Amino acid sequence: RRFGSQVTILQRSGQLLTREDPDVAEAVAQILREDEIDVRLQAETVHIAPGPERSITLTIRGADGERTLSGSHLLVATGRTPNTDRLDLSAAGIPTDEHGYITTDERLRTPVAGIYAIGDVKGGPAFTATSFDDFRIVKTNLLEGGDATTSGRLVPYTIFIDPQLGRVGLTEKEARAQGRPIRIARLPMDQVDRALEVDESRGFIKAIVDAETRQILGCAVLGFEGGEVMAMLEIAMLGHLPYTVLKDGIFAHPTLAESLNGLFETLDA
């Protein structure tokens, strides 16, 4: 869009980023629209055909009926299919699930003794960091005599839109589905000095906190360098720090880190 192209995003479901909390997904959609990207939700593509002068024509169906869009390029995102069919797994008796992923236990062992599977081939979040941690688990257990597992590990990720969305741990929706007693800390980025200084104050920081233990269960950081702020919260989660440690910590001014003071002060306001 910033190079001058008209961009339209078609989403079949009722919100972008369906694994995120609705307030996070709606804020992302609003930011994209502010940047003049046309975001259309509940838009089902029913027909694709070549148009005049090498254009592409889409017929979509939405709440207002069918419409036709045309453009020069089409990017289709429908998920990933593992290439395990090339491995002749049946020869070794290694089973896969209905999607073609190799099944493993928490130590990444397949049902066949002595054979392990790591990375995207076993399904789950297809992130570089996850694959590397899989390697760490197998190395620890096979070469170092350890007992590492995937149980309870935090899997962070950052969506590199502008501003970024960093996420780790439980969403509010997931925590409530588990019946946890929670509190929600929320701070708009327009209350973060560093964000104001770089003229990117859109978005917010949201943290889910256990109401009894004061442990941070998860966070979503939609804002300037959101992935970096998320990583700070992840470190606190890894260290099992209660949110009060960050609320009362001294952070350099003006940095994004000091936003953690304001974020958790909202719980005690």
In the set 73, 99, 240, 253, the catalytic residue is: 253
Neighbours of 119 (CB within 10 A): 19
Give the position of tokens 């700070």: 232
Reduced to 3 states (helix: H, G, I; strand: E, B; else coil), residue 12 is: coil
Q: According to DSSP H, which parts of 69-178 are helical?
A: 128-143, 172-177
Residue 163: asked if its preceding bond is cis (omega within 30°), the reply is yes
The helix (run of H) or strand (run of E) holding residue 220 is strand 216-223
Nearest residue to 9 via CA among 83, 91, 76, 101: 76
Distance separating alpha carbons of residues 43 and 60, to the nearest angstrom? 6
Distance separating alpha carbons of residues 152 and 220, to the nearest angstrom? 19
Note if 240 is an active site residue: no
**Residue 99 backbone class (left: φ over 0; alpha: ψ -120 to 50; beta: rest):** alpha
Nearest residue to 154 via CA among 59, 247, 262, 233: 233
Query: Which residues make Cβ contacts (< 8 Å) with residue 205, sequence separation at least 6?
Result: 185, 186, 187, 189, 192, 219, 220, 221, 222, 223, 229, 259, 263
- Which residues are marked as active site? 253
